[in-house]
């Protein structure tokens, strides 16, 4: 082999290494495969601590600590004035027993009471992974959504935050500790295409390595819209929900952690009574402001059932992903053990299973998400 040929091969290898992977090789594994080691770790921690449900104590004032079955609205209702200054306005409602115009009038009255105006984001009060979340542009949209939503069921209407940046910020604090820490930041990039005035949305998806890899998720949901030809430079967001299993790209943002941001999240977490473990989902204006602990709005708070989502960065190795999973679930058990030592009791196993089954059954009835 000539020196030139060897150099060419080395250059090609380096180029491939520098090219970002569109999808990590484990990102779309079946859940029972990826989470099998996590389940084994959970069992080991259960044996060590003498309780399989100990993480339900991580956040004592949240139902099941936020493992499952918790109310989004009840969590936000606990926030004090410091945290509320960074919270997107919202209102929780319960749909009436009969679908009809009365539901719309009731919902709009609740919106007026909280000074909410269209557009808003409608979401189930109990769900995960963006199930049932939809942008509501006007009264007609609201009527359609409520017609599909289960009767006599809690939901939430929240002001639409139009800032393009979206992030998940994970926070952990041991009970009694003077300060907690940000253990993960994930920057979320919802799938979008930029029109060239010639290509259809389907063709633009096929031409993008990441989008092509998740086309099986995106295109069926777009339906006939996939054949539309966007105008040149027209940005088309393909989904609203920033979730990797719905096509969004997640990037590890831990390099954005600063003393200013840490202090801000600490103040917010401390203004949520007995909150020790979970993720703040936020929308932000610019990365620079986020690093300063400014320019963001909280759209949701998740407890012990949430995960540090930076693991879904395509550049994250599977070893790094499991290290993060074991660290966080280990912390959940340690926090639960410390709170149990105060005399509090975790959920019983059957009670937790019933809550999980109830949530799963309810999620199957929600409207399709955006």
Tell me: pLDDT of 154 over 60.
yes
* Residue 45 or 3, more confident: 45
pLDDT at position 11, please? 47
**In sequence order, what are the beta bridge partners of 157?**
91, 122
pLDDT score of 242: 62
Average pLDDT over residues 22-35: 87
Can you tell me which residue has the tokens 């790094």? 320
Please enumerate in sequence order all residues whose Cβ is within 8 A of that of 246, keeping only pairs 6 or more positions apart, or say none: 129, 130, 217, 239, 369
pLDDT band per the 50, 70, 90 thresholds, residue 152: very high
Q: What is the pTM of this model?
A: 0.90
**Segment 175-209, tens digit of pLDDT:** 999 999 999 999 998 888 999 999 999 999 899 88
CB-based contacts of 71: which residues, under 8 Å, 6+ apart?
A: 63, 92, 125, 126, 154
Do you know the residue count of the chain? Answer: 370
Task: Please report, for residues 74, 107, 184, the alpha-carbon distance to residue 110 in angstroms, rounded to integers and kept in the order given.
Answer: 16, 5, 35
How far apart are alpha carbons 247 and 223 in whole angstroms?
16
Task: Quote the CA–CA distance of 158 and 210 in Å, as a whole number.
Answer: 30
- Domains (range + CATH), the chain: 36-71+80-88+163-190+239-362 (3.30.470.20), 89-160 (3.30.1490.20), 195-238 (no CATH)
CB 302 within 8 A of CB 66: yes
Please state the rounded mean pLDDT for residues 3-23. 51
pLDDT of residue 5: 53
Query: Reduced to 3 states, what is the DSSP secondary structure of residue 278?
Result: strand
Q: Which of 177, 166, 160 is nearest to 269 (CA)?
A: 177
Torsional sign, CA 48, 50, 51, 52: positive
What is the number of alpha carbons within 13 Å of residue 46 lying toward its C-beta? 13
Q: Which long-range contacts (CB under 8 A, 24 or more apart) does 283-290 make?
A: 283/88, 283/161, 283/163, 283/164, 283/165, 283/166, 283/167, 284/163, 284/165, 284/166, 284/167, 285/163, 285/165, 286/165, 287/165, 287/256, 290/165, 290/167, 290/256, 290/261
pLDDT tens profile 247-286: 788 999 999 999 999 999 999 999 999 999 999 999 999 9
Sign of CA dihedral 314, 259, 177, 68: negative
The predicted structure's pLDDT at residue 7: 47
């Amino acid at each position: 082999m000539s020196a030139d040929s060897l150099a060419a091969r080395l250059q090609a290898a380096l180029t491939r290494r520098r090219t970002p992977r569109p999808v990590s090789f484990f990102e779309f594994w079946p859940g029972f495969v990826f989470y099998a080691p996590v389940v084994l770790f959970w069992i080991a921690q259960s044996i060590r601590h003498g309780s399989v449900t100990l993480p339900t104590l991580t956040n004592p004032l949240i139902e099941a600590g936020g493992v499952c079955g918790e109310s989004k609205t009840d969590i936000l209702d606990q926030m004090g004035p410091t945290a509320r200054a960074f919270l997107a306005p919202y209102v929780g409602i319960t749909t009436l027993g009969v679908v009809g115009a009365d539901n719309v009038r009731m919902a709009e009255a609740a919106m007026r009471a909280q000074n909410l105006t269209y557009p808003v984001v409608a979401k189930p009060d109990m769900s995960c992974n963006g199930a049932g979340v939809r942008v509501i542009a006007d009264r007609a949209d609201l009527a359609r959504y409520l017609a599909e939503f289960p009767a006599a069921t809690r939901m939430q209407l929240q002001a639409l935050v139009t800032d393009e940046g979206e992030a998940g910020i994970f926070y952990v604090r041991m009970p009694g500790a003077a300060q907690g820490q940000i253990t993960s930041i994930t920057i979320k990039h919802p799938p979008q295409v930029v029109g060239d005035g010639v290509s259809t949305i389907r063709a633009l998806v096929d031409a993008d390595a990441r989008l092509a890899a998740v086309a099986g998720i995106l295109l069926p949901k777009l339906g006939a819209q996939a054949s539309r030809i966007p105008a040149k430079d027209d940005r088309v967001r393909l989904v609203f929900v920033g979730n990797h299993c719905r096509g969004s790209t997640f990037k590890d943002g831990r390099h954005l952690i600063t003393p200013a941001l840490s202090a801000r999240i600490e103040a917010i977490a401390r203004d949520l009574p007995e909150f020790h473990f979970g993720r703040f989902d936020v929308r932000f204006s610019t990365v620079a402001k986020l690093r300063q602990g400014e320019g963001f709005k909280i759209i949701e708070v998740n407890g012990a059932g949430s995960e540090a989502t930076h693991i879904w960065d395509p550049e994250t190795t599977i070893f790094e992903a499991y290290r993060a999973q074991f660290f966080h679930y280990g912390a959940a058990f340690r926090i639960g053990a410390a709170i149990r030592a105060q005399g509090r009791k975790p959920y019983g196993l059957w009670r937790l299973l019933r809550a999980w089954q109830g949530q799963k059954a309810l999620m199957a009835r929600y409207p399709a998400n955006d």
